[in-house]
Structures are given as C-alpha cells and as structure tokens.
Amino acid sequence: MKKKLLLVIGLCIGITATACSSNSTKTDEAVQTEQTNTVDETEEDSETEEIRPDYLLADLPFDGEECTVPDTVASPEKYTYVDETLRITQEQKDAFIAEYGEEEYESATSSLSQMFHIQKNSPIYPSYTTELKETYTMEDVVLTSELDGHHITADYILQSGSKDNDTVIMVHGISGTRRSMKTDILFYLSLGYNVLTYDQRSSGENDGFFYTLGVWEQYDLMDCVNYVDEQISADKKIVVLGQSSGGTSAGLILGNKEAQEKVDYVIFDSPVMSMYDILKSNLYRYVKKDQVDYVMQSCEDFMKFMYGFGFEDGEVANFVADTTIPVLILTSEVDDIVPMEQPQRIYDTIKSNNKKIVISEISGHCAMKDTEHELYEKEVRDFLGL
C-alpha cells in the first residue's frame, strides 16, 4: 500500500468526521421515537477488587490501571523523533518494523497522523464572548491535566457571578473548541445553569499533543468535573453534555466510580460512541473493501505498541453497563455523520432503567436543538426535572 494513498485517506477521514452540522430541513410533523423507564436507582458495589484502583467502578482503558501517557509523547524535550507528528523515536520505529514490517508502519502512520491531529487549527471564535459578558460573568480558567501536565483551557460562564450553582460541563466535537457551542451555551444559561466549556486535547488552546477520540480526553473531562465539584456545594448539580465526538469522552467516564459520585446527569447529543466504527465507516468510502481491514489492523497494532491503547479502549459500550448516572441520548435516523445504531447500542448496554433515548426522523447531526427546538427543550427539561 502506498504512503501517498494513505495520506489522502487520512485527510478524507479528518474532513468527513466533522462535528455538529445543522440540518435546516423542516417537516410539518416531527416524529419522535423514545424508550423510557421510571427512574430506578442502582446500588454501587460496596467493594472494589484489590487489583484495581479504588476509584474505578468497572474495567476502564488500560486494563483497569491508571492511564499514563508514554513519556515519549508527554516529554518532547527528552527525545529526538524520527516522526514528529506522532512523536516516534528511531528506536520505536525500528522495534515496530521488526515485529510488524515496514508496510504496516507506513500504513498506520499515514492514517493516524491525520486522525490524531484533526483538531489542530480549530478557530477559537472569541467575538461572541462580548455578547455573553453583557449578561453574565465570564472567567478564563486554565487547569493542569492530572494525566500528563498539559493545560486545559476553559470558559466559566456564571449566572450571577457565583460558581456555587448547578453547572453544565460541555464537551465539543471534532473541529470544535470551547467556543464553538454558542447555541448550547445560551440554551443552558437560559435554564439557569452555569456553564463550563473547555477545549478538548489538541483543540483550541489546549496544548495536549494528541486527540485520541476520547481515550485520553476522558481524563481532561474528569479534571473539569473535579474542578467544578470543588466550586459548588453538595446540593448543586453537575451535568455533562457530550456533543458528537465529545460523546466518547463523556461516555467513557460513565464507568468511573469518581464520576458516579460527582456527575448527576449525562446528556449525549448525536454522540460518537466508537473510535473503531467511525474510522472504519470512513475508510469504506475511500479504500477498497479488501484493504480496509488491513489498514484498521495496522492502526490498532501501532496504537497498542506505541501508546498502550486500542480500539476497544474507545468503545463506550465496553464501560457503561453498570453506570448509575442518569443518561439522556438524542440521536436521529437521518444523521449522516454518526449512524443511529451507535447511540442505540449504548442505550441497550446500560443496565439501569435511569436512561432515555429520543430518536428524531428529521434532524441531522447535532441539529435537534435547532430544527426541533420545542422537542429538544421539553426532553432536556423533563430529564433534568425542570
């Protein structure tokens, strides 16, 4: 397989998997399909297995161990790279080629160099903050990642200057930043919530080097959850809103016991729920059918060899079964970015009755709040008990 071809493939993947486009199509009648059950609390396990850290409810990425970003990625000042984009040293390259071959190395690096950096150069959209500041207090926040020390940039938008209020933490999708979810920000502010919106890894002003479609990003989200939890009193609520590929980050924390204790609700809007599915579905558009499995396998081998995670670590369904956090999923039959089957699989996997899925027949990717605003507002208000 030629490297030039794979570079084109990777670029097409980055372009196609864009976040949150609005579908302006309207019909006279919006048909809603929903599955809902009465809220039913699930008891948390009183004990955790000795082999895993005590904050883990279920097996999380990296076999239930705490995630550690490889030193070759987190500490560039210590290394000379043969591949700057993926932070691969000559020794790592040689070792991989010795085990898997040069063709597989070229296949993986050509595809992943695009996939891991599709967030780069996303605009910050600073202009609308002037409008927000006319009504609300807006504070710049910079958190230090507990994972590898990179900086997490965020906007904290306050109803009346006080952080001690119910708060929505917003997780944007691919090609987005902390300021690309303006309509969402205004909507939840109108409900009386504070909003913390932050840049995911490798987007906006977040200086995390890679964007891994949720696997490492979930730890940035937990840093934000912990920060907000420190600002609010015990009677205040934390809501996490995961939009598009931000849904993967939000979904992966559902198996985290610490999240069970601090997050009160999770809302998914057109969520990407599988690194594997979104990559493979895009490869089918640009790669001959008999080449797709080879490219996917080369990417998986490379990620596990270099960084310690694989596609299964970005598969939300692997971690949500025992979550106790109430979940609302908003999806659509006409979503051409994230097939409805992905969020449906998550809904079906969650054992708790404390869940609801709303399926639109007319709204596109992340578009329900625009094309069916009354439906969107009703479902969110009912879910949050407003």
Res. 25 pLDDT band, cuts 50 70 90: very low
pLDDT at 60 over 50: no
- How high is the pLDDT of residue 127? 73
Mean per-residue pLDDT over the chain, rounded: 83
Is 77 exposed, middle or buried, given 0-12, 13-18 or 19+ CB atoms closer than 10 A? exposed
**What does the DSSP assignment read for 84-145?**
TTTTEEHHHHHHHHHHH-HHHHHHHHHHHHHHTTTTTT-----TTHHHHHTTSEEEEEEEEP
Locus of tokens 């990642």? 145
Look at 61-65, 271-275, 282-286, 350-354 and tell me which has the smallest mean pLDDT.
Answer: 61-65
- 195-246 pLDDT, tens digit per residue, is 999 999 988 899 999 889 889 999 999 999 999 999 999 999 999 999 998 9
What pLDDT, on a 0 to 100 scale, did the predictor assign at position 115? 80
pTM, two decimals, is 0.83
pLDDT value at residue 68: 84
pLDDT of residue 62: 46
Q: Tokens for 185, please give them.
A: 């920000």
pLDDT (mean) for 112-140: 81
Q: pLDDT tens digits, residue range 291-348?
A: 889 999 999 999 999 999 999 999 999 989 999 999 999 999 999 888 888 899 999 9
Which residue's structure tokens are 């578009």?
367
CATH numbers and ranges of domains, the chain: 32-43+123-273+316-384 (3.40.50.1820)
Tokens of 314: 């970005």
In this model, does residue 2 exceed pLDDT 50?
no
19 has a pLDDT exceeding 50: no
The one-letter amino acid at 311 = F
- Is the per-residue pLDDT at 39 higher than 90? no
Report the pLDDT value the prediction gives residue 193, as an integer from 0 to 100.
Answer: 98
Q: What is the predicted pLDDT for the residue at 121?
A: 61
Structure tokens at 205: 């002003």
> What phi, psi does 321 have (nearest 5°)?
-55, -40
The residues pairing with 140 across neighbouring beta strands, listed in sequence order, are 155
Find out whether 57 and 255 touch, Cβ atoms under 8 Å. Answer: yes
Say how far apart CA 309 and CA 294 lie, in whole Å. 18
At 130 the pLDDT is 86
Query: In 10 A of CB 132, how many CB atoms?
Result: 18
pLDDT band at 23 (very low <50, low <70, confident <90, very high): very low
| pLDDT mean over 69-75 | 93
pLDDT at 137: 95
pLDDT at 47: 44
DSSP assignments along 4-66, one per residue = HHHHHHHHHHHHHS----------S---EEEEE------PPPS---TTS-TTBSS--TTTTSP
pLDDT given at position 128: 80
Whether 45 shows a pLDDT value over 50: the answer reads: no
pLDDT in tens, 128-152: 888 899 999 999 999 999 999 999 9
Maximum CA extent, the chain: 62
pLDDT for 65: 56
Q: In the block, which residue shows the tokens 């009346």? A: 160
Q: Between these two residues, 61 and 337, which has the higher pLDDT value?
A: 337
